[in-house]
Structure 1
Amino acid sequence: MDDKDALVAALMKKLTREKRARELAEKQLEQYSLDIYNTNTELQSSLLKAERNQTELKFLNDISSEISSDTSINELFNKTLSLISTFMESKYGYYIHVLDGEKKLSGQIAPPDCDGSHASALYRQLSSFLDIDVKNVSHRWLINVFEHEEFPDIHWLLSTAVSIKENEALWLVVPYHQDILDEEYLYVLDTARAQLKTGLNRRINEAKILTRNRVLQETIANLESARKQLIQSEKMASLGQLAAGVAHEINNPIGFIQSNLQTLKEYTKDLHTYSDKIGSAIAENTADDGFHQSLKKKLDIDYIFDDVGDLIDSNLQGIERVSEIVLGLKTFTHGGNEKEFISVKINEVIEQSLKIAWNSIKYDYTLNNELTELPAIQGNPGQLQQVFINLFVNAIQAMPEGGTLSITEERLSNAFIINVTDTGMGMDEKTLNQLFTPFYTTKPVGEGTGLGLSISYAILEAHNVEVNVRSEVDKGTTFSLKFLLDSGA
């Protein structure tokens, strides 16, 4: 009996141990299963959150791509509206332009199977429901509860606006269909709005810059046109001062050409008479040598033959003189394309300038031209001629009682200097300081525009010519022009 009791007691202990072990294993299994469940739940939550974050990042990246593109403001807002509607899983979306209190629907999103009347009815409802105006622009998205029996699936209205001007704003309105609005969506939308505002400001600033550039280009074009007119006017003013002299220089050769032609006409008559009488004598067989010599002497035929050559040479010289003056005037008044520089022989420019001004110089002034053959430069011959004519005219006017006009040169390793010197009245320091100031002149009213030297200075600057002026009262003035040589000269 004692052995049986002991065996039963041992079995009971074993059963108790096994029961406890089973209960412990069940608890461990239950905890393990719970842990697995919780882990799976967390993984699913993390996966959903990661997918959501990926969706949000893609949405913001798409917004950023549109903003950085070169699309117009309208295209940008329409594309942004489409991206926001897709992100919020909204069937609808509206882009509204407000100007001076007037609202205009500039874009909308609607389901493919939705007729236009339904989308328009929703727009009318939300337009009257929301206070869409330029005064109600917020820096964030606005949230409004929306309940309407015609649109039971819409529970919220999300709206935001961006100002363009004081009287102009652009609104985006997106209906939301879910019962609960996740706050995290609003943070993402606020980020998108900030990006949109940045993109809009960039486009507005670019438009302003383009407008200012266009105005600036128009202003530059107007200034360039005015400058050309000013240069041309000064040319005509200089030419007007020299007009009488130029006319005299042209009339002189024309006068002796006319006289020579009249003489040639008379010589032609004598030659015709000589030819006719010789012919008659030959016909009558009386044309002996005595008759021939007598007729030649009577009509001065030998003298006529000698003088005809001189008359023709004189006419050719006169025509060449007129051609030179006309060529000089043509170069002076039509200097070619101002912006195109060509190879220019400065000696020829100065010679042509002297020919135009010669009648004003030759009677009361001594010309001392000591220039040798100078290297060619790149420049505009008409403009350079205008400069030298202006310097010569000013020098003459500075010597009312006569004097000497000298043109000398200095040679440097990389340049040459042309000095134009007069022995006139000279200038004091005050006049020298304002010498190139536009409209400044010491001449009486009506005798000078005050533009000649300022325009000449601008021309020389464009030719990269350094200008130096030395003057002493009652002794004279020297203008020194330093022309740089081309590297290949």
Structure 2
Amino acid sequence: MAAGVAHEINNPIGYINSNLTSLKTYLEDLLALVAMYEKLESVCTQTEYLEPIKAFKQQIDLEFLRTDVLDLLEESHEGATRVKKIVQDLKDFSYVGGEDDWQWINLHAGLESTLNIVNNEIKYKAKVVKVFGDLPEIRCLPHQLNQVFMNLLVNAAQAIDNEGVITLRTGTQDDYVWVEVRSQRYRQRHRTRAPEQNF
């Protein structure tokens, strides 16, 4: 269900991103045209036309508008891009396959997606420190593994009353890869081990 909702959100976000890019181009052109018209003010002698224009420029605070409108567009574009990233993380996190739908994955990509999904649970309590090793791809059930990561991260955050640090480490040992989530306050240590070839 979550993957379906993410897909439905992704389409309108694509339209918004595209429209914001076009809108920025149009506004830059309009502001350039306004600047050209302003050059004519110095040679125009018909004050009956100039006075209303000057008054309106002051009324709308044109100088502020020039920069603020583009800043607003940039912030909106950044927000839409952020939503698009969250949607992609949600799709990755909630991947639904069959019980035997094993896949070769980059473990760090799954961890990053899960971190973004649980960010709201963590950001007010802890800083996340990532110490990632050089891992091979592993064969696993991605959705189930991401669920394990989510539980470990949320538990680590809940172990911190106020502020703290959650350290996320990965590495290899023999034929296994491992993931460690540690809460600094209680020094709780959770480890999940996965064979590189068959987890």
TM range (shorter): 0.5 to 0.7
Structure 1 residue 313, shift from structure 2 partner: 4.2
Per-residue CA deviation, residues 194-246 of structure 1 (Å, 9 max, x unaligned), is xxxxxxxxxxxxxxxxxxxxxxxxxxxxxxxxxxxxxx9xx9xxxxxxxxxxx
Structure 1 residue 412, shift from structure 2 partner: 2.3
5+ unaligned residues in a row in structure 1: which ranges?
1-231, 236-253, 282-286, 425-474
Q: Rg larger in 1 or in 2?
A: 1
Structure 1 residue 367, shift from structure 2 partner: 1.2
Q: State yes or no: 1:476 paired with 2:187.
A: yes
Per-residue CA deviation, residues 253-308 of structure 1 (Å, 9 max, x unaligned), is x9xx9xxx8xx79x95x948x55x94xx9xxxxx747359x98xx5339944x962
Task: Please state whether the residue corresponding to 2:116 is helix, strand or coil.
Answer: helix
Per-residue CA deviation, residues 446-477 of structure 1 (Å, 9 max, x unaligned), is xxxxxxxxxxxxxxxxxxxxxxxxxxxxx331
Structure 1 residue 359, shift from structure 2 partner: 1.5
Structure 1 residue 370, shift from structure 2 partner: 1.0
Which amino acid is 1:477 matched to? Q
Greater CA deviation, 357-366 or 372-381? Answer: 372-381
Q: State yes or no: 1:324 paired with 2:85.
A: yes
Structure 1 residue 361, shift from structure 2 partner: 1.2
Which of 147, 169, 176 is 1:386 aligned to?
A: 147
- Give distance in 2, aligned partners of 1:291 and 1:338: 78
- Give distance in 2, aligned partners of 1:301 and 1:398: 47
Structure 1 residue 422, shift from structure 2 partner: 1.2
Aligned residues: 165
* Equivalent in the alignment of 2:42: 290
Question: Structure 1 residues 380 and 319 mapped into 2: Cα distance closer, same or farther (>3 Å)?
Answer: farther
Structure 1 residue 379, shift from structure 2 partner: 1.6
Which amino acid is 1:484 matched to? P
- Give distance in 2, aligned partners of 1:320 and 1:338: 33
Cα RMSD between the aligned structures?
Answer: 4.1
Question: Structure 1 residues 311 and 302 mapped into 2: Cα distance closer, same or farther (>3 Å)?
Answer: closer
Per-residue CA deviation, residues 104-145 of structure 1 (Å, 9 max, x unaligned), is xxxxxxxxxxxxxxxxxxxxxxxxxxxxxxxxxxxxxxxxxx
Contact 1:328 1:353 in 2 (8 A): yes
Question: Structure 1 residues 413 and 334 mapped into 2: Cα distance closer, same or farther (>3 Å)?
Answer: closer
Q: State yes or no: 1:349 paired with 2:60.
A: no
* Equivalent in the alignment of 1:54: none
Contact 2:92 2:110 in 1 (8 A): no
Percent identity (aligned) = 29
Structure 1 residue 373, shift from structure 2 partner: 4.5
* Equivalent in the alignment of 1:369: 130
Which has the higher relative contact order, 1 or 2, with Cα contacts under 8 A spaced 6 or more apart?
Answer: 2
- Give distance in 2, aligned partners of 1:271 and 1:405: 49
* Equivalent in the alignment of 2:9: none
Alignment of 1:195-344 (within 5 A): 268=27, 271=30, 278=37, 288=40, 290=42, 299-300=62-63, 303-304=66-67, 308=70, 310-344=71-105
- Give distance in 2, aligned partners of 1:377 and 1:311: 43
5+ unaligned residues in a row in structure 2: which ranges?
3-12, 45-49
Which amino acid is 2:63 matched to? D
- Give distance in 1, aligned partners of 2:79 and 2:65: 25
